[in-house]
Amino acid sequence: MPRGRERKNGRQGEGDRASYRGPRRFLSAGRYEVEREWRRLEGTPQRDLLRTLRERFLRRSFPTPLPEGRWAVEVGPGPGRFTPVLAETSAQLLLVDLSREMLRAAAVRRERGLGSRGRRATLALVLGDATAWPVRPGTIERLTAIGNVVGFSGDRAEGILRELSASLAPGGEIVVESVCPTTTLPKFAARWRRDTRAPVLAGDPELRLRPLLGQGWERHHVPGGPHPSSAEFHFFHPREIREALARLGIEVREQEVLAPLSGDNPELVGRIARGGPRGLDELVRWEEAAGHRPEFLEAGGHALTLAVRPR
């Protein structure tokens, strides 16, 4: 039986399941949990697509290196999936995580896999979380919270978002991921799901998406409907994350829903991947173009937000 689970009368209790799935499960994480978390976004075309979209968003958000003496922070790095990317543009990088083993793994990943720009940031490791934020206000140039850092804060989500935002220096930037279950799909994307062949992806998606949306934008309800937030997990619609940051005086510069066309369809992404790397490269371009459109942002999903504290 996995650590942290109990069975009562032959069934697992709801409270135990929520505790196991929440962030506290990482407090006593060992090597097995570290490797499992690393594989969570590795090993299949669908997972590779989602990881690639996150990496590209981070590189667009932070295109230039920070000067010496300026700090960047990665909140909840886990095993260091995105740490090498952040180290490319950070002279000093602080990692804050609940798990000692995750922090160790992130440091090792950074040493083994430098980003494409070959920079090697000075790394500092802090065992902690956003509920007792260890960073002084107004001192950080860049802050990243990729994954479910804010969502797993539950009913404390907005308070933690306030703590993270307060640590930004004037002109400081934050990238945060939020989750809101998608409740609708566009008609042409639904056709992709029924098609037995991989779609032909070519040309300029910015030009081709517009007529597709004009001809075939019909809302298809996804069974299950919206998921209400709870004490264990807080769902932020992209609009809600914009509003929450605005209340904190933080200006949103960019938002992108991750893979709204195909991200929840591993079979479709697998068919495209079997056509070779060019097909996947084209799919990335299409997903980025679609993920920035208001129609897809309104439909919800996993969203990345880049925002800045005004000077």
Judged against a pLDDT cut of 50, whether residue 148 lies above it is answered with yes
**In this structure, is residue 133 part of a structural domain?**
yes
**In this structure, is residue 55 part of a structural domain?**
yes
What does the DSSP assignment read for 123-142?
EEEEE--GGG--S-TT-EEE
**In this structure, is residue 221 part of a structural domain?**
no
Judged against a pLDDT cut of 70, whether residue 217 lies above it is answered with no
Mean pLDDT, the chain, rounded, equals 81
pLDDT tens figures, 271-280: 888 888 888 8
The tally of domains found in the chain comes to 1
What is the model's pLDDT at position 19?
A: 38
- Nearest CA among 104, 153, 157 for reference residue 127: 104
Q: Between residues 101 and 22, which one has the greater pLDDT?
A: 101
Q: Which helix (H) or strand (E) holds 162?
A: helix 157-166
- What are the backbone angles phi and psi of residue 254, rounded to the nearest 5°? -155, 140
**In this structure, is residue 13 part of a structural domain?**
no
- Return the number of other C-beta atoms located less than 10 Å from residue 22's C-beta: 18
User: DSSP class of residue 25?
Assistant: G
Predicted TM-score (pTM) of the model is 0.85
**In this structure, is residue 212 part of a structural domain?**
no
**In this structure, is residue 186 part of a structural domain?**
no
pLDDT tens figures, 272-306: 888 888 888 999 999 999 999 998 898 889 999 99
Print the domain residue range for 240. Answer: 37-181+228-259+300-308
Task: Please report, for the domain that includes residue 123, its CATH number.
Answer: 3.40.50.150
pLDDT tens figures, 20-65: 355 555 566 667 676 777 677 677 899 999 999 999 999 999 999 8
Please state, in angstroms and as integers, the Cα–Cα distance from residue 274 to each residue in 46, 267, 277, 279, following that order: 12, 11, 8, 8
**In this structure, is residue 253 part of a structural domain?**
yes
**In this structure, is residue 51 part of a structural domain?**
yes
